[in-house]
A = this chain, B = another copy of it.
Amino acid sequence: MSVATESPPLERLRTALAEIADLNHAESVLDWDSRVSMPHRGALARAHATGTLTRLAHEKFVADEIGDLLEGLRATEEEAGPDSFDGALIRVTRREWERARRVPPELAGEISHAAGIAVAAWDEAKAASDFPSFVPQLERMLELKQRYIECFPPRDSRYDIALDEYEEGMTTADVTAIFDRLKPELIGLIERHRDDPRDDSAFRGPFSVTAQQEAGRRVLEAFGFNDEEWRIDETPHPFAQKPGVGDIRLTTHTDERDLTSLFSTMHEFGHGIYEYSVDPAFARTPLGGGTSSSIHESQSRTWENLVGRSHGFWRWFYPQLQQLFPQKLGAVDEASFVRSVNAIRPGALRGDADEVTYGLHIILRFELELQLLAGTVSVRDLPGAWNAATKEYLGVDVPDDAHGVLQDMHWSIGLIGYFPTYQLGNVISVQIWERARADLGEVEDQFSRGEFGPLREWLTEHVYRHGGMYAPRALLERVTGSDIDPEPYLAYLQAKFD
């Protein structure tokens, strides 16, 4: 891109960032397409195209010119202040530029290439429940992650550097403190409710796929989905994506065996509505998406759990669901159904976990990641360590590695330091929720009338519209007046389950 040297530096920075955002837009559509639309055998050509886009975007971003512009904009940043768009744009761009510059392009290329190989190996290993076949690839990814970490100045813990990639300003010590507080409480909750009587009405299929999709659409439309700006498709692993303003894409996975697709749809809606509601003036800048992984997850969890498993929500929606599934649900009363979607059900799979057991799945992964990076557990020893922790925390025997250490794709693509943000999101979701309820009054009464606009607008005003302007903890401080704090979350779980 030829950036005309006469324009003011901030304008030149924005022009350069807009071009990079356009490359990211293309990459996002290619990624969505490869998971939703692309014929299977188009994968090799697609890998080339995606690789080129990623490399071009990276090369353009780490250019000296961006660094020179950022250097020249220090006075502007200070003058504008951190609460202004300009100030935030310069701050965030500098943080990302400095991180990106530390990683040599060759290493970034090696990681991306090795991830492509390792995710395919993981896929096969999982299908065959054959962990040993995956060991060399996982060892390679771990070695590359260590080299990545060594590009940065030493911190208290190597893990700090891995974590900082996904969650600005969060340290290993912070996470450890929070998880240490949660772990015994979660284990205690499970113990106390292990022998509760359980209603399984939501999990005794078959439930027609078409009727489930209709249920999903009705809920989405009440939440704020519209066909002019959103779409929803089926994929094996649900996700949400925003290629650009006015283009929000959700996916879900509808399985006739149970009704979990409905919760997955609400989860992805939470990711989608966050990105949808970012101030459109932030388009084509690094501020145009959510601010961090944990804040994003807090919002998917809000719509899936705090809204979607609430009594108010089901007072509105259960009669409709009964109409869609008269034979299955006609004789099940609302209270039983709500109990069935809120039961504690310890199991081996994170993907099937309820609100209580979910946290322990994450804590287990966090602890193993720490040990992997510290070298106190080897890749070969992972299955044993995994199965022991699952037994200890959840009281569950892992039937095989496909349902154990191989269940998640994350490590194969180098996502080490990412899992904790899922549970931090759960913690944060309740902090923001309490604040919203304090302002909005009886939100569940609103839900029971199918009214989700007030909550959505409150979240837009306080969280969503700010996009990437504020670092996650600064945003949380603005919204709740507090740093990240597990107590509201624990109180919520105890009130709900005890």
A396 at the interface (CB under 8 A from B): no
Question: Contact partner of A246 among B44, B53, B227, B247, CB < 8 A?
Answer: B44
Knowing A26-B30, A37-B231, say if A244 contacts B42 (CB, 8 Å). yes
Q: Which of A15-23, A187-195, A305-313, A353-361 contacts B (4 or more CB under 8 A)?
A: A15-23
- Hey, which chain B residues are within 8 Å of A56, CB to CB? 1, 19, 56
A43 at the interface (CB under 8 A from B): yes
A40–B243 CA distance with the chains assembled, in angstroms: 13
A284 to chain B: closest residue by CB: B48
A4 at the interface (CB under 8 A from B): no
Knowing A29-B29, A29-B33, say if A45 contacts B283 (CB, 8 Å). yes
A51–B52 CA distance with the chains assembled, in angstroms: 17
A95 at the interface (CB under 8 A from B): no
Question: Contact partner of A231 among B39, B52, B245, CB < 8 A?
Answer: B39
A49 at the interface (CB under 8 A from B): yes
Q: Are A49 and B30 in contact (CB under 8 A)?
A: no
Q: How far is the CB of A223 from chain B (nearest CB, A)?
A: 16
A248–B39 CA distance with the chains assembled, in angstroms: 8
- Hey, which chain B residues are within 8 Å of A30, CB to CB? 26, 29
Q: How far is the CB of A396 from chain B (nearest CB, A)?
A: 39
- Hey, which chain B residues are within 8 Å of A496, CB to CB? none
Q: How far is the CB of A229 from chain B (nearest CB, A)?
A: 5
A217 at the interface (CB under 8 A from B): no
Q: Are B42 and A246 in contact (CB under 8 A)?
A: yes
- Hey, which chain B residues are within 8 Å of A38, CB to CB? 247
Q: How far is the CB of A474 from chain B (nearest CB, A)?
A: 28
Q: A33-87: which residues lie under 8 A (CB-CB) from chain B? A: 33, 36-46, 48-49, 51-53, 55-56
A246 to chain B: closest residue by CB: B41
A229–B230 CA distance with the chains assembled, in angstroms: 27
> Which A residues contact B (CB, under 8 angstroms)?
1, 18-19, 22-23, 25-27, 29-30, 33, 36-46, 48-49, 51-53, 55-56, 227-231, 243-248, 283-284
